[in-house]
Amino acid sequence: MEGFDVKDIFNELPTALPHKDSDLIVRAYDFALKAHQGQLRRSGEPYFIHVFETAKNLARYEMDATTIAAGFLHDVLEDTETTEAEMEKEFGKEIVKLVKGVTKLGTVKYQGHIRHVESLRKFLMALAQDYRVLMIKLADRLHNLRTLEHVREDKQRRIALESIEVYAPLADRFGIGKLKGEIEDAAFPFAYPKEYAEVEKILADRSENLKESLKSVYEELSNELKKSNIRVREIDYRIKHKYSLWKKLRERGMNIDNIYDVVAIRLIVETVEECYAALGIVHSLWKPLPARIKDYIALPKLNGYQSLHTTIFTGDGGLVEVQIRTEEMHGRAEFGIASHYLYKEHIGSKKNSKEKFQWMSEFKNLDKSNTDPDDFLKHLKSDFFSDRIFVFTPAGEVIDLPEGSSTIDFAYAVHSDIGDKASGARVNGKFVSLDTTLQSSDIVEIETRKDGVPKSKWLDFTKTTAAKKHIRTYLNEHSENSLLKRFLPKKFR
Ligand code: MN
């Protein structure tokens, strides 16, 4: 079809495909084009555009040929006369299974606030049945969000909120940071139009200054790195995604001066050693903001993210965040679990087993079984999702916790300060005691008191290590006789 050349799909992929893979994609393209012939989107455009863009999103995320082909076919069973048998004859069982997985998901609707969700857990489990089904669903959703202006107004907001509250956190959970940002930004104007306009205005007022700071740092750093023997793979910069900027603005009194990573320079180098060497160069050129130096290489984030972060004073009153990482870390930050597939040929090598997702270590025995992506998925399903619950903040953010978690676990998962000062809790609008065990899809609100402090009895009903650690740290530091205990012989205490 004109303007929708299958070559555009191949161009998104980093390498040329073997013939059997490119042939599969071309056949899926042709099949979908024929099946959707004559159908139109609400925008008046041919329906095929939607499946084409879905497949293209999958190619951008470097998914395999089977998944891209299923992307082309994902609406064929639901929206055309084509039967399952016909599709299976042409493409085999595996692709039919993926398409059916996506179709089935379409029937589970998340109706905004919570009590209407029959089982959010079922929904998430369905998503987790196959990682590729999730990716197709996310790629499909991203294109629907980007064409949301054509959808009926009352549906716009529901779809946008569902995307922000369920799909984006899920992408984040799987470490696909880039997709999370894309989904949130596409949904933001429809979910929160007023706030979106506000962020746009704040950014517009600032963008000239920001760009100038950024440019001077970028140029100076590039020059200095050339003189060193650090092998730079890539240096570029990014402006913070609008939705996450808004979330930060809300926390920081809507003042953009209180946000230090509105712009960030990204430096990709060859080795971990070169990451630290590059950080040294950055700090020799600009003064860093002390509390903002973060070593996520030595201490990765829970979703596996690794990088060095530092925020520097640019000298003209501005602040710029610099992020330094290796190419492999960068791949994981952008593609998350997808990079597990991308790098699967290295799995088993020493290097990979050392740098795998941090949170994978939650899965027992994963080390032994992660040689095969299918085994990996099995573990993801059984160990990761089956003993987790998903609960919500009043603002609709999803917090995931181990089964059996209490309101105290929730409070600490939201923020350590909220945990420390918790004085009461409301679950689904009702006051409950702090030892209440939470269920999936509860909406939880924590009340705090300025002078509130952690209690030792909380340890009896906390599940998460984070909560236990905060409580113990506080108790150790504040127990009345902590000094006496340390220095006096037992009988005098
Ligand atoms: Mn679709």
Fold of 386-484: Ubiquitin-like (UB roll) (3.10.20)
**CATH code for 7-191?**
1.10.3210.10
Distance 75 CA to ligand 1 centre (A): 5
| pLDDT at residue 360, as a whole number | 32
Specify the pLDDT at position 287.
92
Quickly state the pLDDT bin for 406 (edges 50, 70, 90).
very high
161: CA distance to ligand 1 center in Å? 18
Residue that wins the pLDDT comparison between 234 and 14: 234
Centre of ligand 1 from the C-alpha of residue 277, in Å: 47
- Mean per-residue pLDDT over the chain, rounded: 81
- The stretch 196-213 carries a mean pLDDT of 87
354-375 pLDDT, tens digit per residue, is 233 333 333 323 333 344 444 4
Residue from 79, 334, 362, 397 carrying the catalytic annotation = 79
Contact partners, residue 277, CB within 8 Å, separation at least 6: 228, 230
Of the pLDDT bands very low, low, confident and very high (cuts 50, 70, 90), residue 398 is low
Annotated catalytic, 172?
no
CB 324 within 8 A of CB 279: yes
pTM of this prediction? 0.66
Tell me the CA–centroid distance for residue 138 and ligand 1, in Å: 10
Q: Is the pLDDT of residue 464 over 90?
A: no
What is the structure's pLDDT at 267?
96
pLDDT at 276: 96
Of 64-73, 164-173, 178-187, 334-343, minimum mean pLDDT range: 334-343
Going from the Cα of 389 to the center of ligand 1, the distance in angstroms, rounded, reads: 28
The superfamily CATH assigns to domain 207-337 is: Beta Polymerase, domain 2 (3.30.460.10)
Residue 160 region by backbone torsions, left for phi larger than 0, else alpha for psi between -120 and 50, else beta? alpha
pLDDT for the residue numbered 165 = 76
For residue 294 the two structure tokens come to 């973060």
Q: Is the pLDDT of residue 419 over 80?
A: yes
Catalytic residue among 8, 12, 78, 334: 78
Percentage of residues in the chain having pLDDT higher than 90: 47
pLDDT of residue 352: 34
**Mean pLDDT, to the nearest integer, of 440-464?**
90
409 is catalytic: no
The model's pLDDT over 370-395, given as tens digits with 9 standing for 90+, comes to: 444 444 444 444 334 446 677 777 76
What pLDDT does residue 361 have?
Answer: 33
* pLDDT number for residue 342: 41
Domain boundaries, the chain: 7-191, 207-337, 386-484
Q: Three-class SS string for the chain?
A: CCCCCHHHHHHHCCCCCCHHHHHHHHHHHHHHHHHCCCCECCCCCECHHHHHHHHHHHHHCCCCHHHHHHHHHCCHHHHCCCCHHHHHHHHCHHHHHHHHHHHHHHHCCCCCCHHHCCCHHHHHHHHHCCHHHHHHHHHHHHHHHHCHHHCCHHHHHHHHHHHHHHHHHHHHHCCCHHHHHHHHHHHHHHHCHHHHHHHHHHHHHHHHHHHHHHHHHHHHHHHHHHHCCCCEEEEEEEECCHHHHHHHHHHCCCCHHHCCCCEEEEEEECCHHHHHHHHHHHHHHCCECHHHCEECCCCCCCCCCCCEEEEEECCCCCEEEEEEEEHHHHHHHHHCCHHHHHCHHHECEHHHHHHCCCHHHHCCCHHHHCCCHHHHHHHHHHHHHCCEEEEECCCCCEEEEECCCEHHHHHHHHCHHHHHCEEEEEECCEEECCCCECCCCCEEEEEECCCCCCCHHHHHHCCCHHHHHHHHHHHHHHCCCHHHHHHCCHHHC
- Report the pLDDT value the prediction gives residue 9, as an integer from 0 to 100: 95
Q: What is the pLDDT of residues 51-75, one digit of tens each?
A: 999 999 999 988 889 999 999 999 9
- pLDDT band at residue 183 using 50, 70 and 90 as cut-offs: very high
Which is nearest to 241 in space by CA: 308, 334, 147, 144?
Answer: 334
Is residue 127 over pLDDT 70? no
Name the token pair of 5: 């050349």
> How many Å lie between the centroid of ligand 1 and the Cα of residue 275?
41
Comparing 154 with 122, the larger pLDDT belongs to 154
pLDDT at residue 370 in the model: 40
Region 235-251: mean pLDDT is 90
Q: What is the average per-residue pLDDT within 164-181?
A: 79
Region 465-479: what's the mean pLDDT?
Answer: 87
